[in-house]
Structure 1
Amino acid sequence: MNSPHFLSFLLLLLTSLHYSALSDSGTIGINYGRLGDNLPSPARVVQLLKSQGVTKVKLYDSDSSVLSAFSGSGISLTVGLPNDNLASAAASTSYTDSWVESNILPFHPKTIIEAIAVGNEVFANSATTPTSALLTAMKNVYTSLDKHNLSSSIKISSPVALSALNSSYPPSAGAFKPDLIEPVIKPMLQFLNQTNSYIMVNAYPFFAYIDNTDTISLDYALLRNSAAGNPDSGNGLVYKSLFEAQTDAVFAAMSAVGFDDIKIVITETGWPSKGDEKEVGATPENAAAYNGNLVRRVLSGGGTPLRPKDSLNVFLFALFNENQKTGPTSERNYGLYYPNEEKVYDVPLTLDGLNGGQNMTESKAQVPAPAAGQTWCVASENVGEEKLQAALDYACGQGGADCRPIQTEATCFNPNTVEAHASYAFNSYYQKNSRLSGSCDFGGAAHVVTQSPKFGSCDFPTGY
C-alpha cells in the first residue's frame, strides 16, 4: 500500500509531534455552580475534584462554606462577585473593602484564590445590570485588594459573552459592538493591561451550531479534524474548529481597538447532554465528544491559529447538572456529573487520564463509557477517498501500522470501504504511538474519539 503521498504525511506528522513537544500545555478547570437542591456537600465536591486531578475551579460567588471546604486542597479558585453586587461595588471602596475583608482575607492563602470575576456576562444582561458600573467596580475591588498587598497575586477580570461581538465571522473580522467600545470595552482592556490581567470569555460553539446547522458541520463544532478546515481570507489562516475560530474572533476584536497583548482565559465552555426539541445535537455522545476533544486539544499544547504560542486555558461548564437553573432544558444538563456523583459520560480531565494512565472512577452514566482513559483514532468524515487512501497508504507503509486484519478475507476486511480500512489503520498507528498528541491527524484525515469505533464486527485494539 505504498504511495508517493507518504512523504507529505510524514512531514505533517513530524511537524505536529515536534510542535506538541515544544508547546506548553494549557490548563483545564471546571465551573462549580450550585443552582440545585440535590447537590453534594462542598467537602464531597472537593474530594470528587481531587480524584479527577482537577486543579482549577471557578465559582459564581464567594460562599464561606465553599471557600472553607477548599482550604488546603491545592485547588486554585476563581471566585465571583455577582452582578447584583456591582452597583454597590461601584458606589464606593468602603463596600469593596468590606467585601474583600469578609470574602477573601479569612480564606486566602490556605484557600488559594487566584482571580475574582467581577460580574458575569454584564453586557449580555445590561437591561438589569448597568454596564457603566462594571469598570468602576473592578477598579474598586482592585484598590481594596491592593490595601492588603494582594493586587498582584489575585487577578481582576469579568467574563464577557460572545454576544458582546458585533461580528465574529470570519475570525479576522471579529469586532465588538460599537456602542460598547468607548464607554466600557476600551477602558476595561486598558485596566486589564495595566494590571497584567486577562480577559475572561464565555464561548459556546453549541449555540452557534444549533443556530446554523445548515452551514456549520457537527465535526467542526465538536473539534474533530474535519477535511481541510475553514479558510479565513482575511488573515490567511485555516480553522479546524469553531472553538478556535470564536477565540480568535475575540483576539481580532481586541486588536481592532488597539490591544494586541492581552491574554484570554475561556471561563465557560461546554456542550449539553440533553436539550429541547429545537436544541439539535444536545446528546450525551456529542457532549462527550466536545469536552473530550477540547480537553485533549488544550492539554496537548499550543494555542489558536492567530496566537499559536499562547497556551489555552479553559474552564469547562459545568461540574453538575443543576436542577434549579431556568431556561431551556439544556441549561440543566451541562454537567459532567449527576448530583449523585455518577458520571453523565466519561471525559478524563488530565493528559494522563486521556492517555490511560489515570484510574478514573467507574462510570454508571447513560452513555456506555470505555475503560478509563481509552481513546481511539478514526477517519474523519467528508475528507474524500483520495485523501483517505493516501493517508491509509502511509499508515500501512512507512507508518508501521498493523494492517494485516484489513487484508482480503482477514478479520477486519469487511466492511470493504476506504473509511473503515483507514480508521483501522489510523487507530493502529495511534495506539502503537501510545496515543501521543499529534499521532491522530494524518493531515486532517483523522480525529480522536472516546467511544469504541463500530465497523461491522471488527474490534479496534487499544494497545499493542
Structure 2
Amino acid sequence: MQTQLNKHDMSSIKATIPHYTDVFNLTNTSRPSETDFRADIKETMVKYVTFLRKNDAPFFLSMFPIHYVNNNSLDFDFAFMDNRSSHKVNDGNATYTNAFEFLYDSCHWALAKANATSVKIVIGAIGWPTDSYPGANVANAERFYKTFLPFIASGKGTPMRPNQTINVFLNNLSDENRLFLDLGSFQRHWGIYKFNGEPKYRIDFSGKGRDLYPSTAKGVIFMPNRWCVFNGNLDDPGKVEYMKSLACSESDCSSLDLGGSCENLTYVEKVSYAFNRYFQTKGQASQTSDDKCHMGGLGKVVPNDPSNGKCEFPVEILSAENVIEGATFGASGSSRDRVHGRMSLSAGLLALTVLWMIL
C-alpha cells in the first residue's frame, strides 16, 4: 500500500499496521531495556520497522495497562499514573512507576535493537474497560483517565523520551456488543459512553484534569419499559440451560462473566438476564407470530425493571428503521432514569453526534 502511495505522489500519506504489546518478549523481561521483539517473529518485525523507517511512517502500538498488570500479577496500582503503586522498576537512570511509561519505553528499546530509533510511536489504542474483568469498573476507568490525559497533555514524555509529544487514540467512544472476545469479555466494555450517549464517568478530554462529565447526547428514543425474564420453571434443567445458551449466542451476555457486573446473580436471575438480552436484541418482538420472549415456554414479559444492584437489565434503544417508519415508542424520562441497550443503527449515528459534540 505504501509503495503504491509513493508511486502516485501521495507519500505524505503513511501506511502502518497496529500491533499489541504481545509482539515483545515482555514475559521474559523485568526492565524496558531488556525488551526486544519476540524471537519467533523478530525477523519479520525487523523488516517491517525498517520499512516504516525508510518511509517515515509511525509504529502504531495498542496497549491496555489493566490487561498487562493482571496478566503479569503485578501490583494493580501500577496500571495507573497517580504514583500509588508499590511496584517500581529501576532501569539505569530511569525509574518506572506505572505501566504506560514502562510499555512505551519498552517499545522504544525494541525499535532501537531493530535499528529503527527514528520511528515514531503512536498509541493506536489505550483505555479502561468498565465490566467483565477484574478491576474493570467505572471508578477505576475514571481514576485512570484522571491522570493519564493530563500526562499526555503536558508533553513531559517518558524517561527514555523526555519532553516529547505522544499521540494517543482512546479506546473507545462507546461499547461494542459484537466485538470479538479473543482477549476476554471485557473487550465489549471499553466505552467512555453508554449506548444512549450518556458518559459513564467524569473525564476531561482537554487534559486539564477538570472534574466534569463530557457532553450528553440528546433526543435518544427507547423502546417501551418492558423486560423478558425466566418464568422460573426448572422442571427440565437441560432445556433451561439450552435456551440460556441460545439466547447468549444471539446477544451479549458478557456481563455474566468473571468480573462482570452481573456475575453474582443467582442462576435463575442469570437465565432472566440472558432472556432479556435476547429479547432486547431482537427489538422486543413479542407478537404472537414472532414472540422473542417465548424461549420454549420459559419466558415472560414483565413491566417492572428486574435490575439487581450493579447489574442492569437493559432496554433497547429504538432502531433508526423503526423511527423512520413512525413507531410510537416515546422517550419518557430523563436519560439517567433509563437503562440502556445494544448498539443499533441509531446508536451508530448517536456516536457520531457525540463525537461532534466533543470536538
Shorter-chain TM range is 0.5 to 0.7
The aligned runs of 1:327-338 (5 Å cut-off) are: 327=181, 328-338=184-194
CA contact (8 A) 2:81 2:144 kept: yes
- Going from structure 1 to structure 2, the CA distance change for 1:240 and 1:156 (only over 3 Å counts) comes to same
Distance apart, 1:209 and its partner CA: 1.8
The aligned runs of 1:46-65 (5 Å cut-off) are: none
Match of 2:38 in 1: 177
Match of 1:264 in 2: 121
Work out the number of aligned pairs and report it. 214
**2:195 and 2:171 mapped to 1: Cα distance?**
15
Q: Percent identity?
A: 28
CA contact (8 A) 2:130 2:137 kept: yes
Question: Which amino acid in structure 1 is aligned with residue 65 of structure 2?
Answer: P
Counterpart check, 1:223 vs 2:98: no
SS in 1 for 2:115: coil
**2:89 and 2:131 mapped to 1: Cα distance?**
32
**2:49 and 2:216 mapped to 1: Cα distance?**
44
CA contact (8 A) 1:302 1:311 kept: yes
Judge which range, 329-338 or 218-227, deviates more. 218-227
Give 1:232's match in structure 2, choosing from 66, 90, 93. 90
Give 2:103's match in structure 1, choosing from 214, 223, 246. 246
CA contact (8 A) 2:204 2:210 kept: no
Question: Which amino acid in structure 1 is aligned with residue 46 of structure 2?
Answer: K
Match of 1:195 in 2: 55
Distance apart, 1:180 and its partner CA: 1.4
Question: Which amino acid in structure 1 is aligned with residue 72 of structure 2?
Answer: N
**1:348 and 1:149 mapped to 2: Cα distance?**
39
SS in 2 for 1:189: helix
Question: Which amino acid in structure 2 is aligned with residue 271 of structure 1?
Answer: W
**2:85 and 2:145 mapped to 1: Cα distance?**
20
Question: Which amino acid in structure 2 is aligned with residue 273 of structure 1?
Answer: T
- Going from structure 1 to structure 2, the CA distance change for 1:175 and 1:251 (only over 3 Å counts) comes to same
SS in 2 for 1:232: strand
**2:79 and 2:34 mapped to 1: Cα distance?**
19
The aligned runs of 1:62-73 (5 Å cut-off) are: none
Distance apart, 1:300 and its partner CA: 1.4
- Going from structure 1 to structure 2, the CA distance change for 1:270 and 1:320 (only over 3 Å counts) comes to same
Match of 2:22 in 1: 163
Structure 1: 5+ residue runs without aligned partners?
1-140, 365-464
SS in 1 for 2:41: helix
Match of 1:308 in 2: 162
Distance apart, 1:193 and its partner CA: 0.9
Question: Which amino acid in structure 2 is aligned with residue 256 of structure 1?
Answer: K
Match of 1:150 in 2: 10
Post-superposition CA distance 1:404-423 (Å, at most 9, x none): xxxxxxxxxxxxxxxxxxxx
**1:313 and 1:144 mapped to 2: Cα distance?**
26
CA contact (8 A) 1:343 1:363 kept: no
CA contact (8 A) 2:126 2:170 kept: yes
CA contact (8 A) 1:317 1:335 kept: yes
Query: Deviating runs (4+, > 3 A) in structure 1?
Result: none
Distance apart, 1:169 and its partner CA: 2.6
- Going from structure 1 to structure 2, the CA distance change for 1:240 and 1:256 (only over 3 Å counts) comes to same
Counterpart check, 1:349 vs 2:205: yes
**2:180 and 2:77 mapped to 1: Cα distance?**
29
Post-superposition CA distance 1:293-352 (Å, at most 9, x none): 211110111211111132111111111101112323311110001221111112121135
Which is bigger in relative contact order (C-alpha 8 A, separation at least 6)? Answer: 1
CA contact (8 A) 2:197 2:216 kept: no
CA contact (8 A) 1:302 1:312 kept: no
